[in-house]
Amino acid sequence: MTGKRLADTVALVTGASSGIGWATARALAAEGATVAVFGRRLARLEELVDVIERDGGRAHAHEVDVTDGATVARSVQAIADEFGRIDILVNNAGFLANAPAVEADLADWHRTIDVNIGGVLNVTHAALPLVVRAGERERGVADIVTVSSVGGRRVPGPSSNVYAASKHAVGAFTEALRQELATRRVRVGVVEPGVVRTEMTTGGSKGAPDATTGAPLDPADIASAIVYMVTRPAHAAVNEILIRPTEQVI
């Protein structure tokens, strides 16, 4: 017995090369999960694997663009071949490109939809049989957690247009999936952060949220929320967590 709450589980985290995904992979590994990490930057993923292994955890890197369904399917099959299941799926990969509609680049709109909606669909569709299988094991439950946004509950400002639309879509898909899988011992939930200090909000993507006040959240704050969700007793499902910086108004 290791005493770790996620011992003998297998987790998949997308968008793990930085930010929330990186922090979540480390947090799940620290609780005993073997973590498969997906991302487009293989060197960063390999660095993450090294960090996790130095801390005594186990991780595997997969270079994956979640918008490429064929690559997603191959990488998920590799997990199936090695482990036979996925106990915890964290859909985290995202793209942010806020701009007024009259100034927007249409390619950014399409990229937002492709990553924020298409990526979630690609990964969930490929992983779902393995997640359902995990729910039938002795742990008695499996988890799907998708990282959305406060923009998935309300439109935070006019320039959030397509980003907010994509996150509303994620919320609807998540709720439908929750209803479908509840009787199959699969908990489905969504985390809706406010402003988080990541590459996406500090220069890695175009644009930042429309209105913020005070210090942003850290990726570790979101990782802690995800760990909380997936470590509840098997009879309890936390389906939604909204988490903002204390001084964020919207």
Q: Residue 89: enclosing H or E segment and its boundaries?
A: strand 88-91
The closest of 125, 120, 60 to 92, measured between CA atoms, is 120
Q: What is 48-64 written as a DSSP string?
A: HHHHHHHTT-EEEEEE-
184/145 Cα distance (integer angstroms) = 16
Strand 58-63 to strand 34-39: parallel, antiparallel, or no bridges (unpaired)?
parallel
Handedness of CA 63, 69, 71, 77 (dihedral sign): positive
DSSP for residue 193: E
Catalytic residue among 22, 95, 109, 163: 163
Q: Which residues contact residue 6 at a Cβ distance below 8 angstroms, ignoring those fewer than 6 apart?
A: 28, 31, 32, 33, 87, 88, 230, 231
Dmax (CA) for the chain in angstroms is 59
163 assigned to active site: yes
Give the residue numbers marked as catalytic: 163
